[in-house]
Amino acid sequence: MTAGQIRPIANSVRSGAARAVDVLNGYLARIDAREAEINAFNLVLHDEARERAEVIDAEVAAGRDPGVLAGVPIALKDNMCTRGVPTTCSSKILQDWRPPYDATVVQRLAAAGAVIVGKTNLDEFAMGSSTENSAFGPTRNPLDVTRVPGGSSGGSAAAVAAGFAAGSLGSDTGGSIRQPAALCGVVGVKPTYGTVSRLGLVAFASSLDQIGPFTTDVADAALLLEAIAGHDPGDSTSIPKPFPSLEPSLTRGVEGLRIGRITDLPGGADADVQARVDAAFDALAAAGATIVDVTIPAFTYGLTAYYLIAPAEASSNLARYDGVRYGMRVAAADTNAMYSATRSAGFGPEVRRRIMLGTYALSAGYYDAYYGKALKVRRLMAHDFDAAYADVDVVLTPASPSVAFPFGSKTSDPLAMYLCDTYTIPSNLTGHPAMSVPFGTGADGLPVGVQVLAPALGEATMFAVAAELERAAGAAQ
Amino acid sequence: MSAAPWMHEGFEMVVGLEVHVELATATKLFSGSPNRFGDEPNTNIDPVTLGLPGALPVLNRQAVELAMRIGLALGCTVQECVFARKNYFYPDMPKAYQISQYDRPLNVDGRLDLPDGSSVGVERAHLEEDTGKSTHIGGSGRIHGSEGSLIDFNRAGVPLVEIVSRPDISSPDQARLYAAELRAILVAVGASDARMEEGSMRVDANVSVRRPGEPLGTRCEIKNVNSVRSLGRAIDYEARRQVALITAGESIRQETRHWDEADGRTHTLRTKEDADDYRYFPEPDLVPVCPDAAWIDAVRASLPPLPAQRRQQLAEATGQAIDGEAVMTIVERGQDAYVHAVIAAGGAGERAVIHVKEAFAEAGIDPALPAATLASLIAMETGGQLTATQAKTVLADLIAQPNGDPVAIAAERGFEAMASDELEAMVDAAIAADPDAWEKFCAGEGKAMGALVGHVMKASRGQADGKVVTALLQARRPT
Amino acid sequence: MSDRITSEVVAKVARLSRLDLDDAELAAATAQLGDMLDHFADIDALDLSSVEPMTQPFALVNVMRDDVEQPTLDRDEVLLAAPDPVDGRFGVPPILGIEP
Ligand SMILES: [Mg+2]
Ligand SMILES: [Zn+2]
């Protein structure tokens, strides 16, 4: 599925050429047919979505414009708060929790006329790269159900790839949008940190988390991102600037742009993946861009910095799940015992592992050696990219070292799973934008995603390059 | 004159105080729920207060300004600061971390000068959020032996400033002076109502003892001190307890102790064996606060005169001692501006300060009586038309009817001033009636004057002004 | 990063995290954390002495709001999600030995 869906739907619903209810029914029919196999959702909102679609149709009938996403079925990663609707983070500890408020992105989707079709599955608390860490069972890759969809936003990626939604939102802390987008053959964007409000996104690692879109094409990604981006006074780290229109980027081309090739990029990408990235450089050069070699010496240390910083923040962010105010409680004789019983039963193994790793990295006597050092490596990473961006406009890398892998192939070795994030992590550390664009196929005909990285607030250039790659990939077919 | 040094069996005490004060903002430190005491449980709550998943803090500007006022009033350097998470589990701490400040606090390196002439260093005064409140049910009502606890999060997230003194305090009296002076400053700058009984000002004391010249001893932290008076008692008790242990050859265990007002002792709350490991790290959900010079100057310019300066001004205007009870009390009550107004309206300062201190203790800190009226009353008194006792009576009437006229009230009460020739005759009669006393008075025996004044008072049925009589007697004494 | 992490340290970390580990879990966690930390020793080779730590992607400062009341949450709605609501408050079992 490469043709965009969001624009055509919104255009026809706004013009009255199509009814939102009929559009929705088409998506719900695909969900009903295949969700049992894919398990993209923790919750499908059949009734709520229909009611919402009817409201959109009524607005159009009354001569009002419901907005740029009028009638567009959107799936939400189940770590974004939806008022009165369960928000579980695919964790037993939040299994029955219904937030008393909506995330900012949920409010913005509503204001733009979108229809929320359901809450998608994820690695518990967004910790993982395969969606195998969900307390509610793994999501299967719609392109090959014996393989993972990637993670942690595997449900959101699979939902778009399977045609369960025209677009979806995920969150990306170390690659959790870009890697599953690559593995499912869809577009996935991690915007500049501070572009999309985190208010109502259940925190994993606060200084790294960003919400972004999954779509079937680059133009749809631009539209969905524009709808959710922009300053939110409820998020102190939100950038106090209007988000620019990405429309001009879609047709700009890459004439005169300088595309960076990192010569000291850590190895580990499979040959089939590397071949597609090489082809991407060639395609961009053919379209008028210049390929420039750059070095990012700190790139190779990104994994270590990330796997100290993210668990450290997570260990603190997840301490609130204590059985006192909401969520699961396991009864015990005293409060301390209740805490441990609840948290041990409520969290899965990967979450427990990262909480312990993060607690250790912050604890007395180890802070300087681990967390403190990781923060310095983070600074080096930012310096190295700043230096590179003096010479180039964007940088290209693989989004994932491999195509979609079979279930269970990395679950016994946490480190092997962590290596999935090698190429995506640096952008979270720097806060810079990055996106994955499908660019042909690799082993077993499975999709390969090329990652486009840009400097802070460099979304316009990033989308111009992504759009060019999309055109080149389409032309090659 | 500074507070008497505390010494016990050759040991001195070393005390530092940590004062938590709730700021007088309309809303919480990081959310828009009301900062209000005494509401129904769990009504002032929002996602941030409850630590709900996805909630994010946004800093209250007014809390920062009030914290800056405190810092500037204490002579601190106000600096760029960052918030940090202090991680620990406790049911009244909703996120299982407190947002506080750690290695970059807002205010550092200040000093508090005390009325006794001593001064105590202020290490830091930082911003942080308050916790909720636990009520222990069943059992004794205390933590130990309770059946469980109920949590109210109304107080969670209320802005606090924690003011940490240096260990410069060496006696219970000095600790009391510090707490009282700090409280006066907090109230004066409008940062807090600073009520220890209501918990809007909470004082913890770090107490250790040593022989003079020796290095610092192991300290214990004393919590649950609910008044300035108990603070002195608790410190005194704790220091004696430590001296007793050391002289008995035992060692002090570093621990947190709880002051029990009822039995006048401190008790072990918990030991620090399982050392606290709060895993402080910079709060990623908030950005640094960088007060620039313009902001700091504006806050400094808005500060009212502080208690020390006001005491000085009041002492100068009234001729009272700067650390005398009248000056201390009136500044503490915030009635010094009123005294200055009475003086400006022509009232003698020395009488104004006494009347205000005595008559307005219960009438509120802001006397409703026009300053000019009190000034007229004082003029009648100093002019000899009213005795001190009569003036007091008229003032009591005026407090009940602030629009009253002191001349009319004095007339109603029959407080006619005695004609001066009539009084002179009475003085002469008294001398004639008690030549023995007169002789002694002339010889310089002060006590004898009382008898002579007594004769005049009796003859005038209390209408005579004792001070005028004294003056007449003095004038008659041969030089 | 010197010595390999011990099970005593892992046990302390689990305690601080309020996670229960039985003996087998403790042994497994010690081995796993040890392997990870070995891998993370790559940054020991870097000279970071003159590098400032970076805690956030962007250097925003002075983000503040006005001191104005906002709507509060409905207590009943919130307590509906609570494991043990009692008289408008959140019930917990006895609090023992964890005074902050
Ligand atoms: Mg499902
Ligand atoms: Zn404190």
Question: Are both B325 and B266 inside the same structural domain?
Answer: no
* Ligand 2: centre distance to CA B93 (Å): 13
Residue A191: CATH number of its domain? 3.90.1300.10
How far is the C-alpha of B283 from the C-alpha of A174, rounded, in Å? 19
CA-CA distances (angstroms) from residue A207 to A63, A415, B157, C16?
43, 22, 22, 23
Question: From the CA of A43, which ligand is nearest?
Answer: 1
Q: What is the mean pLDDT of residues B143-172?
A: 92
> What does the alpha-carbon distance between residue A23 and residue A71 come to, in Å, rounded to a whole number?
7
Per-residue model confidence as pLDDT tens digits over C52-95: 999 999 989 999 999 999 999 999 999 999 999 999 999 999 98
pLDDT bucket at A3, cuts 50 / 70 / 90: confident
Specify the amino acid at residue B186: L
pLDDT category of residue B142 using cuts at 50, 70 and 90: low
**Cβ contact (<8 Å) for C57 and A375?**
no
Decide if pLDDT at A153 tops 60.
yes
The one-letter amino acid code at A126 reads A
Q: Which of B377, B392, B412 is the last residue of a domain?
A: B412
Is B374 in the same domain as B272?
Answer: no
For residue B275, the chain A residue with the least C-alpha distance is A364
Q: Cβ distance A385 to A377 under 8 Å?
A: no
- pLDDT given for residue A259 in this prediction: 98
DSSP-derived secondary structure letter, C66: -
Which of B257, B277, B300 is where one domain is finished?
Answer: B300
pLDDT tens digits, one per residue of A261-282: 999 999 999 999 999 999 999 9
Q: Are B294 and B324 contained in the same domain? A: no
pLDDT for res C100: 47
Give partners of C (≥3 CB pairs < 8 A): A, B
Looking at all shown ligands, the one closest to residue B93's CA atom is 2
Do B294 and B361 sit in the same domain of this protein? no
Q: Do A316 and B97 touch (CB under 8 A)?
A: yes
- Residues B403/B372, Cβ–Cβ less than 8 Å: no
Q: Averaged over A42-64, what is the pLDDT?
A: 98
Neighbours of A, requiring at least 3 CB pairs below 8 Å, are: B, C
- B315 and B295 in a single domain? The answer is no
The per-residue pLDDT for range A112-143, each reduced to its tens digit, is 999 999 999 999 999 999 999 999 999 999 99
Percent of chain A with pLDDT over 70: 100
pLDDT in the model for residue B1: 44
**Residue A137 lies in domain:** 6-249
- Is residue B312, in this structure, part of any structural domain at all? yes
Say if residue B350 is in the same domain as residue B462.
Answer: no
pLDDT at A449 over 80: yes
Beta-bridge partners for A44: A118
Catalytic residue set of A: 77, 152, 176
Same domain, B449 and B327: no
Cis peptide before B146 (omega within 30 of 0): no
Per-residue pLDDT, averaged over B307-333, amounts to 92
The predicted pLDDT at position B272 comes to 56
Above 90 in pLDDT, residue B383? no
Q: How far is the CA of B103 from the centre of ligand 2 (A)?
A: 14
A136 alpha carbon to ligand 1 midpoint, in Å? Answer: 7
A305 domain-assigned: no
A183-213 pLDDT per residue, tens: 999 999 999 999 999 999 999 999 999 999 9
The predicted structure's pLDDT at residue A154: 98
Task: Give the number of C-alpha atoms closer than 13 A to the C-alpha of residue B387, restricted to the C-beta side.
Answer: 19
Residue of A nearest to B85 (CA): A316
B–C: how many Cβ contacts below 8 A? Answer: 131
How many Cβ pairs within 8 Å bridge chains A and B?
Answer: 98
User: For residue C96, is it within any domain?
Assistant: no
Inter-chain CB proximity C70 and B31 less than 8 Å: yes
| B79 and B100, same domain (yes or no) | yes
What integer is the mean pLDDT of B340-368?
88
Phi/psi at A148 (5° precision): -75, 155
| pLDDT given for residue B472 in this prediction | 85
Question: What residues of C are in contact with residue B149 (Cβ under 8 Å)?
Answer: 91-92, 94-95
| A1 confidence band (pLDDT: 50, 70, 90) | very low
- Would you give the end-to-end CA distance of chain B in angstroms? 38
Which tokens is B164 given? 């940490």
**Backbone CA torsion sign across B306, B309, B311, B314:** negative
Which range is least confidently modeled, A20-34, A226-240, B348-362, B418-432?
B418-432
**What's the mean pLDDT in B161-172?**
98
> Average pLDDT for residues B206-228, to the nearest whole number?
94
Is residue A254 classed as helix, strand or coil in its secondary structure? coil
The answer to whether residue A339 sits within a structural domain is no
In a domain, A138, yes or no: yes
Residues near B7 by beta carbon (within 8 Å), at least 6 away in sequence: none
Is residue B157 predicted with pLDDT exceeding 80? yes
pLDDT interval class at A360 (50, 70, 90): very high
Binning pLDDT at 50, 70 and 90, where does residue B139 land?
Answer: low
| Residue B214: pLDDT over 50 | yes
Beta carbons within 8 Å of B448's beta carbon, 6+ residues apart: B437, B438, B440, B441
Higher confidence at residue B388 or residue A198?
A198
What's the per-residue H, E or C state across chain B?
A: CCCCCCEECCEEEEEEEEEEEECCCCECCCCCCECCCCCCCCCCCCHHHHCCCCCCCCEEHHHHHHHHHHHHHCCCEECCECEEEEECCCCCCCCCEEEEECCCCCEEEEEEECCCCCEEEEEEEEEEECCCEEEEECCCCCCCCCCEEEEECCCCCCEEEEEEECCCECCHHHHHHHHHHHHHHHHHCCCCCCCCCCCCEEEEEEEEEECCCCCCCCCEEEEEECCHHHHHHHHHHHHHHHHHHHHCCCCCCCEEEEEECCCCEEEEEEECCCCCCCCCEECCCCCCECCCHHHHHHHHHCCCCCHHHHHHHHHHHHCCCCCCHHHHHHHHHCCHHHHHHHHHCCCCHHHHHHHHHHHCCCCCCCCCCCHHHHHHHHHHHHCCCCCHHHHHHHHHHHHHCCCCCHHHHHHHCCCCCCCHHHHHHHHHHHHHHCHHHHHHHHCCCCHHHHHHHHHHHHHHCCCCCHHHHHHHHHHHCCC
Confidence of residue B107 (pLDDT cuts 50, 70, 90): very high
- How many Å lie between the centroid of ligand 1 and the Cα of residue A38? 8
- Average per-residue pLDDT in chain A? 97
B26/C94 CB distance under 8 A: no
Domain that holds residue B314: 307-412
The tokens of A135 are what?
Answer: 């307390």
Structural domains in chain C (count): 1
Residues of C with CB under 8 A from a CB of B: 16, 18, 55-56, 60-73, 75, 78-79, 86-100
Would the CB atoms of C89 and B42 count as touching at under 8 Å? yes
Alpha carbon of B102 to ligand 2 centroid (Å): 10
Give me the half-sphere count of Cα atoms (radius 13 Å) on the Cβ side of residue A47: 1
Give residues 82 to 111 of A whose Cβ lies within 8 Å of C: 96-98, 100-101
- Residue B445 pLDDT grade (very low, low, confident, very high; cuts 50, 70, 90): confident
In a domain? residue A431: no
Closest ligand to residue B129's CA: 2
What would the mean pLDDT of A417-442 be, rounded to a whole number? 97
Whether A28 maps to a domain, the answer reads: yes
A375-414 residues touching C, CB cutoff 8 A: 375-380, 382, 414
Beta carbons of A415 and C36 less than 8 Å apart: yes
A208 three-class SS: coil
**Is C56 domain-assigned?**
no
Task: Write out the two tokens for B412.
Answer: 């109603």
Quick check: is C83 in a domain? no
| DSSP H/E element including A272 | helix A271-286
Q: Which residues pair with B120 in a beta bridge?
A: B112
- With left for phi above 0 and alpha for psi between -120 and 50, is residue B131 left, alpha or beta? beta
Instruction: Say how many Å lie between the CA of residue B200 and the centre of ligand 2.
Output: 13
**Pair B243, B344 in one domain:** no
Instruction: Map residue A173 onto helix, strand or coil.
Output: coil
Instruction: Name the residue among B45, B59, B62 with its Cβ closest to that of C72.
Output: B45
Band the pLDDT of B140: cuts 50, 70, 90: low
- By CB atoms closer than 10 A (0-12, 13-18, 19+), residue B116 is middle
Distances (CA, A) of A194 to A62, A210, A304, B387: 37, 8, 24, 76
Q: How far is CA A469 from CA A396, A440, A441, A447, in A?
A: 11, 10, 14, 14
CB-based contact C56 B279, cutoff 8 Å: no
Say if B158 falls within a structural domain. yes
What ligand is nearest to the CA atom of residue A36? 1
Q: How close is the nearest chain B Cα to the Cα of C42, in Å? A: 23
pLDDT tens digits, one per residue of B261-287: 899 999 988 765 455 799 999 999 999
Instruction: Select the residue from C16, C56, C67 to test the B interface by mutation, using most B Cβ atoms within 10 A.
Output: C67
- Compute, in angstroms, the gap from residue A420 CA to the centroid of ligand 1: 25
B286 and B312, same domain (yes or no): no
B159: how many CB neighbours lie within 10 A of its CB?
28
By CB atoms closer than 10 A (0-12, 13-18, 19+), residue B40 is exposed
Q: Give the amino acid at A78.
A: D
Q: pLDDT > 70: what percent of chain B? A: 95
- DSSP annotation of A436 reads E
Res. C1: pLDDT tops 50? no
Residue B56 lies in a domain: yes
Torsion of CA B466, B469, B470, B475, to 10 degrees: 160
Over residues A460-465, the mean pLDDT reads: 98
Question: Per the structure, how many domains does chain B have?
Answer: 3
Q: Which domain holds residue C33?
A: 7-44
Tell me, what DSSP letter sits at residue A70? T
CB burial string A14-46: b at 16+ within 10 A, e below: beeebbbbebbbebbebbeebbeebbbbbbbbe
CA-based nearest distance B185→chain C, Å: 23
B2 located within any domain: no
The single-letter DSSP state of residue A143 is: T
CB contact under 8 A, C87 and B150: yes
Phi, psi of B122 (to 5 degrees): -110, 115
- Asked, for residue C64, whether it belongs to a domain, the answer is no
Search chain B and give the residue with CA nearest A371.
Answer: B281
Residue A331, pLDDT > 70, answer yes
| C89 falls within a domain | no
Of residues B383 and A461, more confidence is placed in: A461
pLDDT above 80 (res B306): yes
As a whole number of angstroms, the distance between CA B49 and CA C84 comes to 18
User: C72 vs B33: CB contact, 8 Å cut-off?
Assistant: yes
C-alpha triplet B5, B11, B12: angle, nearest 5°:
35
Q: Chain A residue with minimal CA distance to C21?
A: A344
CA distance A183 to B56: 32
Answer yes or no: are the C-beta atoms of A207 and B282 closer than 8 Å. no
Pair A37, A145: CB distance under 8 Å: yes
Is residue B184 located within the same domain as residue B327?
Answer: no
Amino acid identity at A92: K
Number of domains in chain A: 1
The structure's pTM equals 0.92
Task: Give me the mean pLDDT over the B424-440 stretch.
Answer: 89
